[in-house]
Amino acid sequence: MSTPTSIVPGAEEAAPEFYEKLAAQHVRALWTIPGTMAPEPTLDEVPFVWHAKDLWPLLEEAATFISPEDAERRALNASNPTRAFGTSHNLVAGYQMVLPGETAPAHRHTPSAIRLMLQGAGVTTVEGEPVWMERGDLVLTPPVSWHDHRHPGDTPMIWLDGLDVPFVRGQHAQFAEEYPGDQLQELTKAQDASVADYGVGLVPAHSTWTKRHSPLNKYAYSTTRPALLKLWQNEGSPVSGSTLEYVNPLSGGPVIPTISSYLTYIPESGSSVPERHTPSKVYCVLEGKGHSIIEGQRYDWEENDFFVVPSWHWYEHVADEGDAVLFALSDWPIYEPFDLVRREVRAAGAGA
């Protein structure tokens, strides 16, 4: 990790009285600010893996004394070891648990969320549409959409939440409100209505959808997994696998204005092509057991674990036992309109 230096190192020590006069005026001399001309981003966040085997028992323990009705959500947010809040500087991810019979009341907020269902089955209602969630399904709760969670089944539901809260708070743009009466919202649409309307490669002719986020609230694993496998069988690399991006079917763009999502398949003993990019990513393991090499360090993972690849860190994933299917969310769309995406791919055989 490189420490940024100032343009004139030691300037403040050489003339402390002058710089105190500046400080009294609430200004700083540009030539004393570390990183003004840093040639590359400072890698000030660290890779980290959160393990389901460690955290799911803690969710169960939380369930003995806190209900989603009282807590708003029974969710554990993963903090990058370098941060008080946020898995990366723009994203927060974590596990959420809802027990059979429980409900998490409706609310809406400017931060957006994606959910990746990991265990059990149940319903997230999004703007009046009950969305049925099963393992591997991706469900969206876009900005300022009413959402609540309900559990009609019999196995505890656990899913991965991924939100843009650190980014939105950084813009001083977080607003949140509770549904009137602090209840579940009214169901105004048929179950999975948006999947029927937008989820089969067809979109309603002359669609009146004007939002930036995807009109499709669910991307079912029963359709995404076979699509990924077919892609890999038809044109994927036998060693490095294949990746698909979840898109807004109307625009081809990311599912949510601030969050893109991906599904990666890596055959057993294969490894992804080493890359680094300015956006950060949070991966969640849907299938397989393996490890990632991030900036030369090894991070082991297995099913249901999630891990962060911070900005501008070289990384590569290796499937050790079984074929791996990795879900990922990223703050990539935040970088794109400002031409801040930089991505490099390491030539094959160069090592990570």
Is 185 one of the binding residues for ligand 1HN (CB under 6 A)? no
Burial class (CB in 10 A: 0-12, 13-18, 19+), 171: exposed
- The one segment of 70-78, 245-253, 254-262, 298-306 that binds ligand 1HN by CB under 6 A: 70-78
Site string for ligand 1HN, 74-93 (x = CB under 6 A): -x-x--------------x-
Interface residue with ligand 1HN, options 6, 87, 90, 96 (CB under 6 A): 96
Is 284 one of the binding residues for ligand 1HN (CB under 6 A)? no
Residue 225: strand, helix, or coil? helix
- The one segment of 36-44, 71-79, 194-202, 232-240 that binds ligand 1HN by CB under 6 A: 71-79
- CB-wise, 133 or 352, nearer to ligand 1HN? 133
CA gap 329, 288 in Å, rounded: 18
Is 325 one of the binding residues for ligand 1HN (CB under 6 A)? no
Going from the C-alpha of 259 to that of each of 32, 46, 249, 332, the distances in angstroms are 35, 20, 15, 7
Interface residue with ligand 1HN, options 55, 138, 139, 163 (CB under 6 A): 163
CA gap 213, 270 in Å, rounded: 34
Find the shortest distance in angstroms from Cβ 339 to ligand 1HN: 29
- CB-wise, 113 or 255, nearer to ligand 1HN? 113
Is 140 one of the binding residues for ligand 1HN (CB under 6 A)? no
Query: CB-based contacts of 294: which residues, under 8 Å, 6+ apart?
Result: 47, 309, 313, 314, 315
Which residues of the shown chain bind ligand 1HN in the complex (CB under 6 A)? 73, 75, 77, 92, 96, 113, 147, 161, 163, 165
